[in-house]
A and B are shown apart, each in its own frame.
Chain A
Amino acid sequence: MGDIPNLRLLPGLVVAQGGDLQVNVNGTILPAALQFGYIPSAGDPVNVLVVDGRAVVLGARAPGPRPGSGTVSGSASGGRVPVSTPAGTLDCRYTGTAPSIGTLVFIDWQMSTPRLMAGDAATVPDPVDPAPVPPPPAPPPVISTGDTYVNAIDSASFQAGGNWQARGTDVYQWFYSSFKENRGAWFYGNGPLQLAGRTITRFQFRIPARLRVGDYNAALTAHFYRHTSRTRPGGDVIREDGPQNVVLASGQPPAWVDLPVAWGQHLVNNGGGFGLLGSPYLAMAGVGSDPASGQLCFSWRRSA
């Protein structure tokens, strides 16, 4: 193995200096070797390749497509003639007498100013039975649908007129006797934003195990709302959608339930979370005791 060469590709500008053409790179005239095949003109932007202390001019940078042929579209003026090409009308230099309007001509691009080759270009008929062309290399496959899971990074219960500290990470709804009303919620940070730009086709929420709180032997209804907070706010969350009612059975184990797809779409576009509000009094395990509490499953389709 040899040493790794030191390579740099620099933008340069051809400038007239002392009756000669030189290459200016970052304000300095660089002793750059010109190659056959490129005729420099003052003002040409060029690419200069520097390899281990030697500079080579790679040629002028073409600002757009460079068609190989065109049709003369006007009369000559000032040593140039307009030629109509797929890339627009070009002002070309010519040899001898200017070609007449309508002539098909070859265009030479050794200079940044296009030049016409002498004589007419012969027209070539389309092949009657073209040979099959093998397809170009294919791009890598794109995964167009999938399921993405997003975990709650926090859960807690806000007590109306109080704070988020009273219930640890467990998620409570309503209150018992004279206690303050609980409004539990789950938070997801920026997690759902990973799917921004994708279309959500199904949206599921993993309800955690029910806690032995309140009338826990009866089936009770939890009222889910979509809120706007990515992390615990100072006070209560702001609820925008809901309620979506989910009946929790006696001794309800963890389970996936469907929530409106629009809620999932809103979450991936804007962030936010889910919370409980209203009666009756019930509670579910938070992320402190069930790491998958409030986990979300987004089924998505890539839009583009």
Chain B
Amino acid sequence: MRVDVPGLEEEIAGTTQGDRLEVTVWRGGQLVVPDPLSVSKWSYDWDADRQVQGQSTITIADPDGSLAPWSMGDPLGPGGSRLQVTYVFGLSGTRVPLGWWRIRSVDPVEEWRVYGSGSSVIRVPGGGSVTIDADEETSTALLSRLDAEVVRASTVVAEVRRLLEDVCPVVAHASVVDRPVPSGYVYDTGRMDGVEDLLNTIQATHRMGPDGSFEIVPAAGVGPVWTIAGGDSGAQVKTIRSLSDDGVYNAAVSTGEMPGGRPLVGRSYLTTGPLAWGGPFGQVPVFHQAVATTQDGVNADARTVLETSKAAGDVDLKVTCLTHPGIQPHDLVTVLASTMAGEQELVGRVVGMAMTSADSDAGTTPAKSMTLTVRVTAEALEAVAWRVRRG
């Protein structure tokens, strides 16, 4: 959750008025466009399975042609300018920072009017717009490849912090268990690849925070932070479920080695339920490189990997709900699903999110609804399915 503001949920569920997106432009720490941009259309989406999770497209009005960039170094040029984006609620004035976004590409559209003045032709701008694609700061980490870099810190969180020290702040959620960097681990040139490999060894993942910080969070998610209920005062509009076997495992194989290099392997199996190892689902293992140096260690690692894989969720629910700008990828939310057996509570992890603008008589405002992709565990759905079958 990006902010912890009392009364925010009630404000989201109620009538909103004058909500807006405030976008300011910065370059090298300097505010390069004095006023917030006049945004006429925008869309923001996040996908937790991408390295650069947050991507956005905004269109701004540029009536006098002063903002349309010509060079990489112009305020809206893709040469390192950043957008600071804040979602502002009109009624309460509550501000939800959406963090920092790096301009990746820009498409100015200009119209010119021409009139003759003696023998020369005068051109004046006839209005235009600029469409900007901007990505979260992880895009900077992706672009700044590693040059002759080796592991220098002893633990994973400290090493990730070091890898990103020139990109953004790094904070670890309190429930992340830090562990030593696997011995002998070496980097290729991908900074984000290295970061994700390291986080994978501690069953953690990442997202960008409201202040532009890189948040390390448990792979199983953080929360629950929000309950999406239906009904008159609820926030839920529609829920569609989509079941797939992608990323579903019923065994984990962890490999490690003892200090002298003697290899170790630990295995853990799902033995119960419809996805049990060797049942109709088959034998579907996930492999993991453990940092453990004992047999007990790799056994425990295999169990943890299987547990994390289960908790991270298997089945995606596409939820349309009222726009809540405070939700982040990897937040856990509770979806109250309507079933033949009444309302059922499902806790899932947000793995996708999309917010867009809407046009109305009031101008450009955030659309009242957004879409979330919520990944729930197969176990939770089994419980619901059981109740539905039982009636």
Residues of A within 8 A of B (CB): 10-13, 24-27, 43, 45, 61, 63, 139-140, 143, 147-149, 151, 153-154, 165, 168-169, 188-194, 196-197, 230-231, 287-288, 291-292, 295, 297
**Pairwise interchain contact B29-A149, C-beta atoms closer than 8 A:** yes
- Which residue on A lies nearest to B36, using beta carbons? A291
- Measured in the bound complex, the distance between the Cα atoms of B254 and A103 in whole Å is 48
Q: With a CB–CB cut-off of 8 A, which chain A residues contact B3?
A: 231
Is B245's beta carbon under 8 Å from chain A? no
Q: With a CB–CB cut-off of 8 A, which chain B residues contact A149?
A: 28-30
- Measured in the bound complex, the distance between the Cα atoms of B171 and A231 in whole Å is 15
Interface residues on chain B, number (Cβ under 8 Å): 38
How many whole Å from A158's CB to the nearest CB in chain B? 14
**Pairwise interchain contact B210-A153, C-beta atoms closer than 8 A:** yes
**Pairwise interchain contact A194-B255, C-beta atoms closer than 8 A:** no
- Measured in the bound complex, the distance between the Cα atoms of B171 and A197 in whole Å is 14
**Pairwise interchain contact B29-A63, C-beta atoms closer than 8 A:** no
Contact stretch, chosen from B70-78, B162-170, B360-368:
B162-170
Q: With a CB–CB cut-off of 8 A, which chain A residues contact B170?
A: 193-194
Q: Which of B78-99 contact A (CB under 8 A)?
A: 84, 88, 92-93, 95, 97
Which of B95, B253, B261 meets A11, CB within 8 Å?
Answer: B261
- Which residue on A lies nearest to B168, using beta carbons? A194
Beyond the given pairs A11-B263, A25-B263, A194-B170, 18 more chain A to chain B contacts, judged by CB atoms under 8 angstroms and listed by A's residue number, are A10-B255, A10-B263, A11-B257, A26-B253, A26-B265, A45-B261, A45-B262, A45-B263, A61-B261, A148-B29, A151-B84, A153-B211, A169-B93, A191-B211, A231-B4, A291-B31, A291-B36, A295-B29
Q: Which of B21-80 contact A (CB under 8 A)?
A: 22, 24, 26, 28-31, 36
Is B118's beta carbon under 8 Å from chain A? no
**Pairwise interchain contact A13-B169, C-beta atoms closer than 8 A:** no
Q: With a CB–CB cut-off of 8 A, which chain B residues contact A13?
A: 262-263
Which of B26, B210, B260 meets A189, CB within 8 Å?
Answer: B210
How many whole Å from A79's CB to the nearest CB in chain B? 23
- Measured in the bound complex, the distance between the Cα atoms of B22 and A197 in whole Å is 33
Is B102's beta carbon under 8 Å from chain A? no
How many whole Å from A132's CB to the nearest CB in chain B? 24
How many whole Å from B138's CB to the nearest CB in chain A? 14
Q: With a CB–CB cut-off of 8 A, which chain B residues contact A288?
A: 88, 93, 95
How many whole Å from B80's CB to the nearest CB in chain A? 13
Is B213's beta carbon under 8 Å from chain A? yes
Query: Given the interface contacts A11-B255, A12-B263, A26-B253, does A154 sit within 8 Å of B95 by beta carbon?
Result: yes
Q: Which of B244-262 contact A (CB under 8 A)?
A: 253, 255, 257, 260-262
Is B313's beta carbon under 8 Å from chain A? no
Is B209's beta carbon under 8 Å from chain A? yes
- Which residue on B lies nearest to A137, using beta carbons? B148
How many whole Å from B211's CB to the nearest CB in chain A? 3
- Which residue on B lies nearest to A304, using beta carbons? B152
**Pairwise interchain contact B31-A194, C-beta atoms closer than 8 A:** no
- Measured in the bound complex, the distance between the Cα atoms of B166 and A27 in whole Å is 43
